[in-house]
């Protein structure tokens, strides 16, 4: 049984760890998911929403990977594919070196990966008390009712809710911040290794958000967790994450260590996103919008680089060639990669770096 006083061992000496610390916890390669558009296809051209269109990334053990992007960029779909809430059309998903659904059965995988959603009320069963909600997962996985309830109480205590006062309550009796704590406790009930936080703090007020972020940091340290942290709030991502992935229209446009992304963005979209953050200093107000127009519709994404219609550096080549993720940017960080022709040595963009002599 889990006890708040004796936290689980850290990921490095976790008995479930198979591949060692250098093996990424999650490896995603060529993930694709398209949704058919209703009303198309019969006597009309068949249309699809390319929600996720060829995404590759790794989540390292013990890190927090931030995922940012605007609505329709595919960040939530990526999370749901990772969680196996929906099947990818194509792509490979490795968890600690094992192929999910093949060498690693789905049931064992799901026990190790949990998710917290944005809407704290919609993600709880309104007819279950809080302790029943938290104990539900363990009971499905064969833990006895008594042990499961005991574990639920420990977790309630751990997320800062007194079990004596809260265990028997229903979701509608709680505030948004308290409900999100319950969702976090429920996610931890199966002792997962990866927790996917899909805009988990976005609906909370600022002062409550800060409390929940602190809680997430404490839990990560105490239980040796790995987080995938999806958010549209760049300030929160900067605070929480070790590495950041920026998505645009179903593709990764930049991925790298937090400081590299925030201090020296390699993709013009990342730079525009950063410049769009409201300035806290009224003396330094933004004068010109960094980007014009809305994010385009993912039903008919632009050809070539998907960002080119909104990009101020766009050239003819950008409308024809889809940029690849190029590592080793000017920041000298080998982990920092951006999908922009201006960063691709030998690309035909006028700002592209020259090819180095071999």
Return residues touching other proteins (CB under 8 A).
70-71, 175-177, 205-208, 210-211, 213-214, 217, 232-236, 238-239, 272-273, 276-283, 285-295, 297
Alpha-carbon gap, residue 265 to 330, rounded angstroms: 10
Would strands 243-248 and 64-68 be described as parallel, antiparallel, or unpaired? parallel
The CB-of-273 to other proteins minimum distance in angstroms stands at: 6
Minimum CB–partner distance for residue 87 and other proteins (Å): 28
The upper half-sphere exposure of residue 140, i.e. CA atoms within 13 Å in the direction of its Cβ, equals: 13
Residue with token string 């002599």: 357
Q: How far is the CB of 85 from other proteins (least distance, A)?
A: 24
* Distance of closest approach, residue 192 Cβ to other proteins, in angstroms: 22
Of 311, 322, 201, 332, which Cα lies nearest the Cα of 264? Answer: 332
Closest to other proteins by CB, 102 or 205: 205
For 334, other C-beta atoms within 10 Å of its C-beta total 10
| Contact status, residue 55 vs residue 28, Cβ threshold 8 Å | yes
How far apart are the C-alpha atoms of 227 and 231, rounded to whole Å? 12
Q: Are strands 243-248 and 90-95 parallel, antiparallel or unpaired?
A: unpaired
Helix (H, G, I), strand (E, B) or coil at 81: helix
Report the residue number, 278 or 332, with the smaller CB distance to other proteins: 278
Cα gap 129→152, rounded to integer Å:
11
Closer to other proteins at the Cβ: 95 or 269? Answer: 269
Tokens of 70: 């605007």
Q: How far is the CB of 209 from other proteins (least distance, A)?
A: 8
Q: Which is nearer to other proteins, 100 or 225 (CB)?
A: 225
Gap between the Cα atoms of 50 and 29, Å rounded: 16
Q: Which is nearer to other proteins, 264 or 272 (CB)?
A: 272
* Spatial separation of the C-alpha atoms in residues 162 and 42, rounded to whole Å: 57
Q: Which CB, 95 or 227, lies closer to other proteins?
A: 227
Cα distance between residue 269 and residue 263, in whole Å: 14
To the nearest whole angstrom, how small is the minimum distance from the Cβ of residue 62 to other proteins? Answer: 14
**Which residues have C-beta within 8 Å of that of residue 81, sequence separation ≥ 6?**
31, 33, 52, 87, 88, 91, 93
Between residues 286 and 334, which has the closer beta carbon with respect to other proteins? 286
DSSP states of 85-105 as a string?
Answer: SS--SEEEEEETTEEBTTTB-
Residue 330 C-beta: closest distance to other proteins, Å: 24
In whole angstroms, give the CA distance from residue 106 to residue 272: 39
**Closer CB to other proteins, residue 96 or residue 254?**
254
CB of 125 to other proteins, least distance (A): 24
Q: Which is nearer to other proteins, 71 or 350 (CB)?
A: 71
- Least distance between other proteins and beta carbon 289 (Å): 4
- H/E segment holding residue 58: strand 48-59
Q: Which CB, 68 or 134, lies closer to other proteins?
A: 68
- CB of residue 241 vs other proteins: minimum separation in angstroms? 11
Tokens of 166: 């809260």
Q: CA-CA distance, 275 to 130, in Å (whole number)?
A: 42
């Amino acid at each position: 049984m889990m006890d708040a006083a004796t936290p689980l061992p850290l990921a490095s000496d976790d008995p479930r760890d198979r591949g060692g610390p250098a093996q990424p916890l999650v490896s995603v390669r060529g993930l694709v998911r398209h949704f058919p558009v209703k009303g198309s296809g019969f006597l009309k051209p068949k249309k699809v929403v390319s929600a996720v269109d060829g995404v590759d990334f790794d989540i390292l053990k013990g890190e927090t990977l931030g995922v940012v992007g605007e609505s329709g960029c595919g960040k939530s779909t990526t999370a749901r594919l990772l969680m196996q809430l929906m099947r990818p059309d194509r792509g490979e998903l490795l968890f600690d070196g094992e192929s999910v659904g093949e060498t690693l059965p789905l049931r064992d995988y799901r026990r190790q990966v949990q998710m917290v959603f944005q809407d704290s009320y919609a993600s709880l069963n309104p007819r279950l008390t809080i302790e029943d909600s938290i104990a539900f997962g363990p009971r499905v996985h064969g833990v006895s009712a008594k042990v499961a309830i005991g574990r639920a109480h420990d977790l309630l205590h751990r997320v800062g809710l007194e079990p004596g006062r809260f265990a028997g309550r229903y979701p509608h009796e709680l505030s948004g911040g308290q409900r999100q704590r319950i969702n976090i406790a429920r996610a931890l009930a199966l002792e997962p290794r990866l927790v996917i936080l899909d805009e988990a703090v976005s609906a909370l007020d600022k002062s409550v958000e800060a409390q929940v972020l602190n809680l997430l940091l404490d839990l990560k340290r105490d239980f040796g967790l790995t987080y995938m942290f999806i958010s549209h709030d760049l300030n929160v991502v900067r605070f929480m994450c070790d590495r950041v992935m920026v998505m645009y229209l179903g593709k990764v446009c930049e991925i790298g260590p937090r400081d590299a992304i925030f201090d020296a963005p390699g993709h013009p979209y990342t730079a525009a996103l950063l410049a769009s953050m409201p300035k806290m200093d009224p003396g330094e107000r933004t004068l010109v919008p960094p980007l014009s127009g809305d994010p385009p519709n993912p039903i008919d994404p632009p050809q070539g680089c998907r960002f080119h219609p909104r990009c101020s550096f766009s050239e003819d080549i950008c409308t024809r060639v889809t940029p690849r993720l190029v590592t080793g940017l000017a920041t000298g960080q080998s982990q920092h990669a951006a999908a922009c022709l201006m960063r691709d040595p030998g690309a035909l963009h006028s700002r592209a770096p020259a090819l180095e002599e071999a």
